[in-house]
Structure 1
Amino acid sequence: MYQTLKIKRTLDILLSLLGMIVASPFILVFIIAIKFTSKGPILFKQKRIGIHKETFNILKFRTMRIDTPSDTPTHLLNDPDQYITKIGKFLRKSSMDELPQLWNIFVGDMSIIGPRPALWNQYDLIEERDKYGANDVYPGLTGWAQINGRDELPIDVKSKLDGEYVNKISFRMDAKCFLGTIKSVLKSDGVVEGIRSDSAMEEVASSEEQVSK
């Protein structure tokens, strides 16, 4: 009933709109900080897997320098820290780089709660999620897997947790994920800098389409 009556989608629209309004002063500060502390665009977009494995472009604040080696995953760089901007370190650690995804939620690419969207070429994760029906729901800004390990989880465990979420989708489950996310972000639980399992090709300079506005 929660999904059938579109209660979940209605909440996504209302809460993402409210989130953009409330966060607008912080968003403005981040835009100014990014623009004046490093060369390059403020935002970047990256092709991700959405509901029913249709692709969409996810938005994030840029956190890395434009001279980062192209087509190289962050965790394969010799010293990834040297490419992360000063404001980028804060944005990544606090997950504030995800704020632009409120727009993705508002327009219907994503939900507030759901499996984190896989990159288009994370074939192993996509295939594993197929076993649990996790590719047949809207991906989320955060989800059940994110409050149960986040970046530390191997693909098979993450996929099982995503499947568990799919089987238990409800207002109560979403509320539990939402509150758990706040706790995880405040404690920085499960964040592994340079190796972010939900973004294995995190912000690669020439393999993503930059947004200059």
Structure 2
Amino acid sequence: MIRLFKHYVPYAVLLLAVLEFGLLVACAEAGWVLRIWQLGSRVEPIQNRMAQLLSLAGALQLAMLAVGAYGTDALQSMRFAAARLLVAMVLGLIFLALLFFLTPGLVLWRSNSVYATGVAFLALMLFRALFGGMIGGHAFKRRIMVLGAGRRAERIRELSKLPGASFLVVGYIGMTQDPPRITSSIHRDAIESLAEHVVNLNASEVVLALDERRNALPLADLLRIKTTGVHVNELSSFFERETGRVDLDSVNPSWLIFSDGFSSGQMLSKFAKRIFDLIVSLALLILAAPLILLFAIAIKLESRGPAFYRQKRVGLYGVEFSILKLRSMRVDAEVAGQAIWAEKDDPRITRVGRIIRKARVDELPQVWTVLTGDMSFVGPRPERQQFVTDLESKLPFYAERHMMKPGITGWAQINYPYGASLDDARHKLEYDLYYAKNYTPFLDLLILLQTVRVLLWNDGAR
């Protein structure tokens, strides 16, 4: 993987994105030329329309990223890729239409854009059919050697079997006298020179996965491996890179303290994030006001009680604030104010409530909380004090998620389906810690784009 703006991107995905951007530029030109020939006009030099070609390619690729066209499923299945690419082309055309309204000089004519988009869809499908297998092959996978053959090494083996894994394990080395869980592992005593063994297997990285590190850390071996030019990695850092989350089973306080990250409070980033929240929340409130009003009336007509409700949530630095939402449950959903996790097919949800939850319309009034500064568009999802108190006592580092302003969407929301259990809360915390540790405006942009995928396919809605 390569690290861009503190976020890890697989080499294969990055290469695919670069190649497809070039292909999209070529398709934009092909669509323009095709339309011009159809009209019988003269084809001018390409440099006269380069800005328009780049805007079309950029719009379509952003739409592809937003709908998950570079996700594991889309890279493994042509049928899945076709569905995502088709939706991306439609979204790209809508974005280009808006861009044409704002800056006509930067966008191709509408007929040219339609032609170019049609050509792009066919070209992308052909390109992925021909080269998709090569992109996901072993040539782009990082070759790693695992020091350890116990429970932690077994976790790496299971991770390597998942579709879209960006690494290949070339060997396991047992470092203790305990019976190995990896039967194919070789014990350290059977290898004369571990550094030479690593080099001979053409490993580019060694991952330390010892179950017990006291008196077992092979410092001499690690030093020799490091001096051969092979990267040596600790298990927590390895899992962070490969999974996009901070693994609570392997992490310890010293790793969180001394590892790179947690720079979300930098003044420039904080100021830029707040300016973005102000501008977008104000615009979104104006545009969404009719929709919010429409569903507020529908809620009132279906059931007694207010259309909106306020609820206390825990925000930045553990301070409580009130969020505003459209009511999607019965007014007696919680007895005596006792917080209850939402369930699948929860009987407390009204008919209108199911609609607005699926479409995420119930979240729209929260934009007011973004405008007032208690929340941001992107950040850890705020929870109720009762849940927070319980989870802080059961999950390590849970309080650290409150060192960032909470958000409407977040890294956990786009990567993990909706859940209402302690195990779900643990997984979401791992993603929240990754976001807090690796925050950049680039990661915020990626989350906002990927939220489109969640909205379109209702991932995690309950």
Which bracket does the TM-score occupy, shorter chain normalised?
0.7 to 0.9
State how far apart, in whole Å, the 1-side matches of 2:297 and 2:396 are: 38
| 2:416 aligned with 1:149 | yes
Question: Cα deviations across residues 20-64 of structure 1 (Å, max 9, x unaligned)?
Answer: 011112112112111222110011111111000000011111111
The aligned counterpart of 2:456 is 186
Structure-2 change in CA distance of 1:168 and 1:62 (3 Å): same
Which one of the candidate residues 167, 171, 182 is aligned to 2:437? 167
State how far apart, in whole Å, the 2-side matches of 1:80 and 1:36 are: 21
Task: Check the 8 A contact 1:126/1:135 in 2, yes or no.
Answer: no
The aligned counterpart of 1:133 is 400
State how far apart, in whole Å, the 1-side matches of 2:275 and 2:410 are: 18
**Structure 1 counterpart of 2:449, one-letter code:** L
| 2:371 aligned with 1:106 | yes
The aligned counterpart of 1:55 is 320
Structure 1 length as normaliser, TM-score?
Answer: 0.81
State how far apart, in whole Å, the 2-side matches of 1:129 and 1:140 are: 21
State how far apart, in whole Å, the 2-side matches of 1:109 and 1:180 are: 23
Q: SS of 2:321's equivalent?
A: strand
Structure-2 change in CA distance of 1:126 and 1:100 (3 Å): farther
Task: Check the 8 A contact 1:132/1:160 in 2, yes or no.
Answer: no
Structure-2 change in CA distance of 1:143 and 1:74 (3 Å): closer
Structure-2 change in CA distance of 1:31 and 1:176 (3 Å): same
Offset of residue 4 of structure 1:
0.9
State how far apart, in whole Å, the 1-side matches of 2:357 and 2:437 are: 30
Task: Check the 8 A contact 2:392/2:398 in 1, yes or no.
Answer: no
Q: SS of 2:447's equivalent?
A: helix
Structure-2 change in CA distance of 1:131 and 1:47 (3 Å): closer
> Where in structure 1 are there 5+ consecutive unaligned residues?
194-213
Structure-2 change in CA distance of 1:44 and 1:87 (3 Å): same
Task: Check the 8 A contact 1:132/1:163 in 2, yes or no.
Answer: no
Offset of residue 68 of structure 1:
3.4
State how far apart, in whole Å, the 1-side matches of 2:358 and 2:309 are: 18
Offset of residue 147 of structure 1:
0.4
**Structure 1 counterpart of 2:412, one-letter code:** A
Aligned 1:17-166 pairs, distance under 5 A: 17-68=282-333, 70=335, 71=338, 73=340, 75=342, 80-81=346-347, 83-122=348-387, 123-126=389-392, 128=395, 130=397, 133-152=400-419, 154-166=424-436
Offset of residue 129 of structure 1:
7.1
Offset of residue 74 of structure 1:
5.3
The aligned counterpart of 2:273 is 8
State how far apart, in whole Å, the 2-side matches of 1:176 and 1:106 are: 21
Residue identity over aligned pairs, in percent, reads 38
**Structure 2 counterpart of 1:157, one-letter code:** H
Q: SS of 1:44's equivalent?
A: strand
State how far apart, in whole Å, the 2-side matches of 1:97 and 1:129 are: 31
Q: How many residue pairs end up in the alignment? A: 190
Across the aligned residues of Structure 1 and Structure 2, the Cα RMSD in angstroms comes to 2.3
Offset of residue 125 of structure 1:
3.5
Structure-2 change in CA distance of 1:173 and 1:126 (3 Å): farther
Which moved further from structure 2: 123-132 or 107-116? 123-132
Offset of residue 86 of structure 1:
1.6
**Structure 2 counterpart of 1:80, one-letter code:** D
State how far apart, in whole Å, the 1-side matches of 2:390 and 2:430 are: 13
**Structure 2 counterpart of 1:44, one-letter code:** Y
Task: Check the 8 A contact 1:116/1:139 in 2, yes or no.
Answer: yes
Q: Which has the larger radius of gyration?
A: 2
Offset of residue 72 of structure 1:
6.2
Offset of residue 9 of structure 1:
0.7
> Where in structure 2 are there 5+ consecutive unaligned residues?
1-262
Offset of residue 173 of structure 1:
0.4
Question: Cα deviations across residues 91-142 of structure 1 (Å, max 9, x unaligned)?
Answer: 1122111111000000011000000001111124346474573211100001
Task: Check the 8 A contact 1:58/1:104 in 2, yes or no.
Answer: yes
Q: List 4+ stretches of structure 1 deviating above 4 A.
A: 74-77
